[in-house]
Amino acid sequence: SPQAILAAQRRGEDVETSKKWAAGQNKQHFITKNTAKLDRETEELHHDRVSLEVGKVIQQGRQSKGLTQKDLATKINEKPQVIADYESGRAIPNNQVMGKIERAIGLKLRGKDIGKPLETGPKGK
């Protein structure tokens, strides 16, 4: 402690102190030598986005039902920005959201027959 150091100095004793680097600070993030390597990895490993084809199908299905992006978002309990991101192809596909949109507009958005009418059959139990 600082008091103990001062007391030892008054008595004439040799005192050696060393300050620890970043001691007493909440430094959880520090720069490593591998930052360039990490930057390259994040550019190479990116998430798949919704294709523009799916975005156009969502937009056409929504317009055919006479819905705005906000109306569709309200109908499926999502934010309007989510619909905008899906239509523009910026969104990372989420199967739950895709299923809600499919049911709301009545068109398939997943699989090989994208844009075809959604088949509404009896649900299995």
Q: What are phi and psi of 94, to 5 degrees?
A: -125, 125
Q: Which residues of the chain register pLDDT less than 70? A: 19-47, 120-125
> Of 1.10.1660.10, 1.10.357.10, 2.40.110.10, 1.10.260.40, which CATH number belongs to 50-115?
1.10.260.40
94-115 pLDDT, tens digit per residue, is: 899 999 999 999 999 888 888 8
Give the per-residue pLDDT at 125: 56
Neighbours of 75 (CB within 10 A): 17
Domains in the chain: boundaries: 50-115
Closest CA to 101 of 121, 120, 82: 82
Q: Would the pTM of this model clear 0.85, i.e. be above it?
A: no
